[in-house]
A and B are shown apart, each in its own frame.
Chain A
């Protein structure tokens, strides 16, 4: 039940950089008009970051790209992606992905 000091520091720092964009526009209350290009750019950040994280988790094994059928993560993520596309259910996606991974492992 302990909290590692370096993890506490990490959580506080992450919370700080998260709080600023959450709070600042509401406190300043001015009609904040961000430039349109910045809004459009920001809107692509979630897609880009999620794709990068997913690819590193699934396609990189022990520091090397693993783009073959011998990689169970790569095989198991296919039905997970399909479930997400057809059902839009996060919990369903996780269940199908875990099931597929468990069968392949």
Chain B
């Protein structure tokens, strides 16, 4: 998180030559490829859930957040109230706080409006690419990051729209639409496994997932509505924190 040492040397050590917008866009290639796949799937799911092309484009360009878009799609088709969807999206995207806070030291010299623009297009994937580079090549300006951001952003919107068009082609019958709709839980399953695999303590992550899933099903079956997701999320994350503290506590004096 703290990169003050590298930062202190950054301005003198690195030239501007490889820090251009184009180089940033180039560095975004892995993200572009990844977003083509996820964006296509997102477009398929959004169209299958009854969103119009304009709504899908708006969603992917204004919200621009993969998992949050799946949340919106899922909760809209469950007819959840607006306030509940917004609250869930807030919790889902709160993690960006961590990413932005980790990037902030690198952009301390930039004007606030440039930082705001860079932050607006921050995603998990662009963050990973950016910190991977900044550890050895701290940025002196915004150009490289802007190139990375814009490559990812434009791919995402295009892929969403392409997925929606594909969905319309494929979904000729009601049965096909039902099959395509199953892409949504499949995405959740894939994202969940990736999240679990990225956790240092896989067992705690698994416990959180099982607890959260069971609680969500129990609440949804007895009191159908948005509180199943919100309640399960808050309780699940709290369980994770408690288990993490508990499993690492015995031999340390906390």
Cα distance A17–B89 in the bound complex, in angstroms: 7
Q: Are B213 and A46 in contact (CB under 8 A)?
A: no
Q: In this complex, what residue of A is CB-closest to B103?
A: A26
Q: Hey, which chain B residues are within 8 Å of A13, CB to CB?
A: 82, 86
Which residues in window 48-63 of A have CB below 8 A to B? 48-60, 63
Which of A9, A18, A28, A65 interacts with B96 by CB under 8 Å? A18
A70 at the interface (CB under 8 A from B): no
Q: Are A3 and B58 in contact (CB under 8 A)?
A: yes
Which of A7, A34, A52, A91 interacts with B213 by CB under 8 Å? A52
Cα distance A19–B213 in the bound complex, in angstroms: 28
Q: Hey, which chain A residues are within 8 Å of B184, CB to CB?
A: 57
- Of the candidate stretches B8-16, B150-158, B224-232, the one touching chain A is B224-232
The verdict on A43 contacting B95 (CB below 8 Å), with A90-B190, A98-B183 known, is yes
Q: Are A22 and B186 in contact (CB under 8 A)?
A: no
B241 at the interface (CB under 8 A from A): yes
Which residues in window 82-105 of A have CB below 8 A to B? 83-85, 88-91, 93-94, 96-98, 101-102, 105
The verdict on A9 contacting B237 (CB below 8 Å), with A64-B221, A90-B190 known, is no
Q: In this complex, what residue of B is CB-closest to A85?
A: B193
Q: Are B116 and A27 in contact (CB under 8 A)?
A: yes
A23 at the interface (CB under 8 A from B): yes
Q: Hey, which chain A residues are within 8 Å of B210, CB to CB?
A: 51
Which residues in window 229-251 of B have CB below 8 A to A? 229, 232-241, 244-245
Q: Are A32 and B236 in contact (CB under 8 A)?
A: no
Cα distance A73–B90 in the bound complex, in angstroms: 28
Which residues in window 107-125 of B have CB below 8 A to A? 107-108, 112, 115-116, 118-120, 122
Distance from B134 Cβ to chain A, minimum over Cβ atoms (Å): 13
Residue in A9, A53, A60, A65 with the greatest tally of chain B CB atoms within 10 Å: A53
Q: In this complex, what residue of B is CB-closest to A13?
A: B86
B76 at the interface (CB under 8 A from A): yes
Distance from B139 Cβ to chain A, minimum over Cβ atoms (Å): 12
B→A interface (CB under 8 Å): 2, 34, 37-38, 40-41, 51-55, 58-59, 62-65, 67-68, 70-72, 74, 76, 78, 82, 85-86, 88-101, 103-105, 107-108, 112, 115-116, 118-120, 122, 175, 178-180, 182-197, 199, 205, 208-210, 212-218, 220-221, 224, 228-229, 232-241, 244-245
Q: Are B54 and A3 in contact (CB under 8 A)?
A: yes
Which residues in window 24-51 of A have CB below 8 A to B? 24-32, 34, 37, 39-51
Q: Are A101 and B216 in contact (CB under 8 A)?
A: no
The verdict on A22 contacting B96 (CB below 8 Å), with A47-B212, A48-B237, A90-B191 known, is yes
Q: Hey, which chain A residues are within 8 Å of B97, CB to CB?
A: 21, 24-25, 34, 42
Q: Are B92 and A49 in contact (CB under 8 A)?
A: yes
29 contacts between A and B (CB under 8 A): A1-B54, A2-B54, A7-B51, A11-B59, A11-B63, A14-B85, A15-B62, A17-B86, A22-B99, A26-B118, A40-B241, A45-B92, A47-B209, A48-B209, A48-B233, A48-B237, A49-B71, A49-B232, A51-B212, A52-B212, A52-B216, A52-B233, A54-B185, A59-B213, A84-B194, A90-B37, A94-B187, A97-B183, A98-B180
Residue in A19, A51, A55 with the greatest tally of chain B CB atoms within 10 Å: A51
